[in-house]
Amino acid sequence: LDEKGNLKMVDVGDKPITKRIAVAKAEVLFPEDIYPLVADMKVPKGDFLACAKVAGIMAAKKTWELIPLCHPLPISKVDIKFKFLPEKHTLEIQSEVKTSAQTGVEMEALVAASVAALTVYDMCKALSKSIKITNVRLVKKEGGKSGSVVLE
Q: What is the pLDDT along the chain (152 residues), one digit of tens a residue?
A: 778 888 888 888 778 889 999 999 999 999 999 999 999 999 999 999 999 999 999 999 999 999 999 999 999 999 999 999 999 999 999 999 999 999 989 999 999 999 999 999 999 999 999 999 999 999 999 998 888 899 98
Q: What is the pTM of this model?
A: 0.93
pLDDT at 29: 98
Instruction: Give residue 136's pLDDT.
Output: 98
Tell me which residues are annotated as active site: 122
Residue partners of 95: CB distance under 8 A and separation at least 6: 23, 24, 25, 56, 60, 78, 79, 80, 81, 109, 110, 112, 113, 116
